[in-house]
Amino acid sequence: MKWIVGLGNPGTAYAGTRHNVGFMAVDALAKRLGINVTQSRSKALVGEGHAGGTKVVLLKPMTYMNLSGEAVRGYMDYYKADIEDLIVIYDDLDTETGKIRLRYQGSAGGHNGIKSIIQHTGTQQFNRIRMGISRPQPGMNIADYVLSAFAKSEAPLIAEMIERTCDALEFSLTNSFDKTMAKFNG
């Protein structure tokens, strides 16, 4: 089994914002795989299906970004899910808009959703895909920036980034994460 957690904030007020690219990627992958992410479980919206002979579980924490670890821990404990099978998808200020970066461990890097997951799982070692949103212009508040919508001019970059993230996720279902990183980083 692989379980994929896209980070974001629930509610229409946050749909389409930079902080919600993790949700956007999960929605796109769900559409690709024919999975409905509509069941409410473990403080998350959950959908289950199969792809490439692998059981796939998609999660969108409904806890708001800063408490994402509660949903991850709740799912892990209830379903005895293994952290080695987890992939977290989230927005990253230090990655250029439109680019993705895969890692299997690391600090939170100032991302509160990742900080919460590290706190609730007790480890920094879990697979992740960072989706680039770049940094704001100097003087702009970071919170305002991540909660803002993408500019229309960024739409093609974002669409391509979401497709590439889904390609990496699908590849990871039948290949090791090391192989996935080698193929999709760079």
Could you give the residue numbers annotated as active site? 19
Closest CA to 28 of 9, 47, 54, 55: 47
Structure tokens at 2: 């692989």
Closest CA to 23 of 14, 32, 34: 14
What is residue 4's DSSP assignment?
Answer: E
Sign of CA dihedral 6, 9, 12, 15: negative
What is residue 6's DSSP assignment?
Answer: E
In one letter, which amino acid is 156? P
Angstrom distance (rounded) from CA 18 to CA 184 = 21
In one letter, which amino acid is 170? E
Say if residue 140 is exposed, middle or buried (CB neighbours under 10 Å; 0-12, 13-18, 19+).
exposed
